[in-house]
Structure formats: C-alpha cells, structure tokens
C-alpha cells in the first residue's frame, strides 16, 4: 500500500524537524516537503501533491486559516490537519469550515499527530484528545443548520477569499500573487466587497471581520 505523503508547514524550524522525526518512524508515512509560511505551503502543495498537509494557524505570509481554503481549492484531494497551541472552540469551527479534517494541539501526545494524519487520509475528522469530542460532533450536526452571516453571505466565494486576505493585512499585489490573478482583478473584487457590505475603508472591513469571527485579534498578535 502506498505511503501517505505529508507536507509540514510551520514557521518554527524546531517544530517542523520534530514532526518530521515523528512521522519518519511510521512505515506508512513519507514527508515530501516542509514550508515556513502559508504561501510557501501552497506552492509546495502544487509541486509535491501531498495526501495530507499539517499546518500551523499563525504563520507569516498567509495564515493557516486562509491556507486551508487555498489548499483545498488547489488540490481538493489533499486533506489538512491543523497543529496549533490555540484551543478556542470558535477557531476550531472556523478551521473545519475552511476544510480541515483534523485539529491537534501542540501540547498533545505524539500519537495524536500520527492518528490525525491517518484519519485525514481516510477522510475522517480527528480532534486532539485534549479537546472535547462534543466540539466536532456538534459542529458536524449543526454545520448545515447555521443561519447565514448577515452581509458576508452576499459575497461570492472569491470575494470572501479577498475579504479574508484584506482583513489579514495583505496588499493588493500580495493578494494577486496568492490567488494568481491580476491586481486589477483584486481591486475589482475589493470594490464590490466594500459596496455590498457598505464599508468605507479597510478599518471598517477589519472591524467586521473581527465581529463575525473571520479573524481573531488575539491569535494574530501571537
């Protein structure tokens, strides 16, 4: 049976090396690449086509939150496991909404990382043993019952993507690079976003992003 191809993305070298050593001991796994930020992770997904990507949330470039969405858009068959120190239930839900199959805390046993990779490859959800199981079961049962977020749901998928990237502080040129479109296209999306949501400037956009839980100011300050 082919080994599970894994990509590791974390901005701390010692964390990447630790995960690589853990996974290298498993006969059914193979680390095919390492990335130090979200954008590099996206580029390596395109190049190495891993089965599973392990991502930190708070990374330079683009966040792990946005990286999950872009990875799923680029390579739908690549499953994502989040490895982080943040245990907020709202963040767990946002990552699952973005397409992640696993959420593991860095304080968890080594076995959680290994099992999360295997579960993701099988297409099964996995939560760190330190997180209550009720969190994911509640998410799964309620994900189709959520009322739409007022205003934000009026945006197209691409506009929502641009909204999140702008909220995270990316420039027009950077967003164009991330999404592989022209700066002019990004500006067009941004104009539509501001009009649809009746926003005056980027500060208004960031305030709205925080209000509806798209970004967590405590998280991005760490």
Q: How far apart are CA 146 and CA 134, in angstroms?
A: 17
Whole-number pLDDT of residue 134: 62
15-17-19 Cα angle (round to 5) = 70
Whole-number pLDDT of residue 217: 66
Closest CA to 55 of 88, 80, 26: 80
Question: 38-48 and 64-74 are packed helices; what angle lies between their axes, rounded to 10 degrees?
Answer: 20
Whole-number pLDDT of residue 63: 77
- Across the beta sheet with 29-35, the strand order is 29-35, 4-9, 52-55, 79-84, 102-105, 126-127
Q: How far apart are CA 159 and CA 120, in angstroms?
A: 28
Kindly report the three-state secondary structure assignment for every residue of 161-194: HHHHHHHCCCCHHHHHHHHCCCHHHHHHHHHHHH
Whole-number pLDDT of residue 120: 96
23-70 pLDDT, tens digit per residue, is: 999 999 999 999 998 889 999 999 999 999 999 988 877 877 788 989
Q: How far apart are CA 119 and CA 79, in angstroms?
A: 10
69-122 pLDDT, tens digit per residue, is: 899 989 999 999 999 988 877 788 888 888 999 999 988 899 999 999 999 999
pLDDT category at 188 given cuts 50, 70, 90 is very high
State the span(s) of the chain assigned CATH 1.10.10.10. Answer: 152-220
Whole-number pLDDT of residue 32: 96
**CATH of region 4-142, choose from 1.10.10.10, 3.40.50.2300, 3.40.630.30, 3.40.640.10:** 3.40.50.2300
* pLDDT higher than 90, residue 7: yes
pLDDT category at 221 given cuts 50, 70, 90 is very low
Class of domain 152-220: mainly alpha
Provide, rounded to the nearest whole percent, the portion of the chain with pLDDT above 90: 54
* pLDDT higher than 70, residue 163: yes
201-211 pLDDT, tens digit per residue, is: 999 999 998 88
Whole-number pLDDT of residue 150: 64
11-27 pLDDT, tens digit per residue, is: 999 999 999 999 999 99
Q: Tell me the average pLDDT across 162-172.
A: 91
pTM of the model as a whole: 0.76
State the span(s) of the chain assigned CATH 3.40.50.2300. Answer: 4-142
Q: Maximum Cα–Cα distance for the chain, whole Å?
A: 55
């Amino acid at each position: 049976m082919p080994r599970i191809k894994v990509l590791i993305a974390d901005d701390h070298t010692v964390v990447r090396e630790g995960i690589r050593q853990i996974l290298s001991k498993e006969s059914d796994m193979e680390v095919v690449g390492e990335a130090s930020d979200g954008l590099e992770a996206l580029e390596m997904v395109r190049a190495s086509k891993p089965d599973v990507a392990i991502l930190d949330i708070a990374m330079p470039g683009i966040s792990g939150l946005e990286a999950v969405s872009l990875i799923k858009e680029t390579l739908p068959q690549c499953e994502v496991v989040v490895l982080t120190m943040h245990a907020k239930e709202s963040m767990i839900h946002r990552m699952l909404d973005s397409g992640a199959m696993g959420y593991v805390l860095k304080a968890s046993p080594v076995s959680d990382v290994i099992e999360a990779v295997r579960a993701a490859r099988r297409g099964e959800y996995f939560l760190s043993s330190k997180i209550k199981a009720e969190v994911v079961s509640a998410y799964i049962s309620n994900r189709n019952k959520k009322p739409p977020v007022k205003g934000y749901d009026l945006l197209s998928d691409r506009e929502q993507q641009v909204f999140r990237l702008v909220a995270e502080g990316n420039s027009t040129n950077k967003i164009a690079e991330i999404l592989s479109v022209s700066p002019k296209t990004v500006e067009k999306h941004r104009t539509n976003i501001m009009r649809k949501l009746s926003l005056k400037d980027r500060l208004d956009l960031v305030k709205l992003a925080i209000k509806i839980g798209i970004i967590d100011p405590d998280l991005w300050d760490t």
